[in-house]
Amino acid sequence: MNLDFKIKNLLLICLIFLGVFNQYYSQNQTKDGFKTGADQPEVYLPLLKGKTIGIVTNQTGLMKDRTHLVDFLVKNGIKIKAIFAPEHGFRGNADAGETVKNGVDSKTGVPIVSLYGSNKKPKPEQLKGIDIVVFDIQDVGVRFYTYISTLSYLMEAGAENNVEIMVLDRPNPHDGYIDGPVLKKKWASFVGMHEVPVVYGLTIGEYGKMVNGEKWLKNGMQATYILVPMKNYHKKLRYAISDKPSPNLPNDKAINLYPSLCFFEGTQVSVGRGTDTPFQVYGSPWTKSLPYQFTPKPNFGAKDPFLNGQLCYGENLSEYPNDLRELSLEWVIKAYKNYKNPQQDFFLKNLWFDTLSGNDELRKQIIAGKSIQEIKASWKSDLEKFEKIRSKYVVYEN
């Protein structure tokens, strides 16, 4: 009896461990011979030896053995003058939109320079004495996720200051397909700098190649761009990622739903910031006909979440099939139809929805009651034009 109890307890502990592990790493595990750019030091160390470097990275800049790239480079005698920290900071624990402060990395003593807030692009004095900047960040393959904008600004600064840019490539969890409206230039912002769709089907290394090749940087400049590609990577497969890319994308499920649910950030509907399931639920106090209930409260990833303390009615998508390979408009349209609030429009007054969409057409189509099929058909010609550009920069097999 006692032995049975111990065995059951042991099984329970194993199941809990697997559940926690899978929360972060449930995508297909590493394929035979697969290596990220960071896991190929034999390629990049010879190019960095004897040079003074900067590095743009965060908590996702890990090698296969969980060593951080910064620690690995320091150990191998590479002189790092500055760590440039993107949105969410070097350790990845700042809220979306929160000011990231400059500082010093306590482990290595390397100065940290924020590339967020008022200083999104490295200044000439911040690049002084630097020969090359290494970029190693886990992206999620969605236009409004700001790490691709950080890369674009970095490349621009590199071109202006004669500093080389090296990208260590990583998997894209939304690779192998394109979807969503293509951004119109007048709607360009930090959540969408270039005329690409919401889901653009390129790794961050391929994306940088495209920005450079198409001369999308300011004044058509081009950076000296070095890509360290992955080994044995396939665009249609899904890979484990090194760490959660930001506080509110804690697992594969949230990353998978992100292109579809992020539109809610431009509405009176919460995407679950301030809950245990950010980007896996949606709801508001004014969609009472929807079945699921939750109340956003301050937590590690959201110090003052939208609709803080208010009971929200919506849907729980945390059990949704894991590999949704399209941008779904189902939920934003459903919420719009169920929204009942005479005091406030569904869409925020600042039209952040249009900024995320990259145009004002999607909002107008939803208001006009267009079907999902009609809306998606309106993206078709722009997507076909983009595909012609994209195909020039694809490095990996589908």
DSSP string, 172-198: -TTTT--EEEEPPGGG-BTTB-SS-EE
Q: Looking at residue 87, what is its pLDDT?
A: 78
Same domain, 79 and 155: yes
* Domain annotation covers residue 6: no
Enumerate residues 6+ apart whose C-beta is below 8 A from 316. 277, 280, 281, 292, 294
The tally of domains found in the chain comes to 2
Please identify, among 185, 213, 228, the residue that sits at the C-terminal boundary of a domain. 228
DSSP string, 56-106: EE-TT-B-TTS-BHHHHHHHTT-EEEEEEE-TTTTTT-SPTTPPPPPEE-T
Same domain, 130 and 279: no
Same domain, 193 and 93: yes
pTM value? 0.89
Q: Looking at residue 220, what is its pLDDT?
A: 96
Domain residues for the domain of 141 are: 41-228
* Domain annotation covers residue 289: yes
Q: Looking at residue 107, what is its pLDDT?
A: 84
- Residue 127's domain is classified under what CATH number? 3.40.50.12170
* Domain annotation covers residue 314: yes
Same domain, 148 and 279: no
Q: Looking at residue 86, what is its pLDDT?
A: 86
* Domain annotation covers residue 236: no
* Domain annotation covers residue 7: no
Same domain, 265 and 172: no
According to DSSP, residue 243 is labeled S
Same domain, 271 and 352: yes
* Domain annotation covers residue 158: yes
* Domain annotation covers residue 105: yes
Q: How confident is the model at residue 96 (pLDDT cuts 50, 70, 90)?
A: low
Same domain, 256 and 224: no
Nearest to 129, CA basis, from 224, 52, 70: 52
Q: How confident is the model at residue 93 (pLDDT cuts 50, 70, 90)?
A: low
Question: Could you count the other beta carbons within 10 Å of the beta carbon of residue 26?
Answer: 16
Per-residue tokens: 173: 């969890």
Lowest-pLDDT range of 10-24, 265-279, 320-334, 364-378: 10-24
Give residue-wise pLDDT tens across range 130-174.
Answer: 999 999 999 999 999 999 999 999 999 999 999 999 999 999 999
CA 293 – CA 316 distance, rounded (Å): 8
Same domain, 216 and 295: no
Mean pLDDT calculated for residue range 202-208? 98
* Domain annotation covers residue 234: no
Same domain, 218 and 338: no
Whole-angstrom Cα Rg for the chain: 22
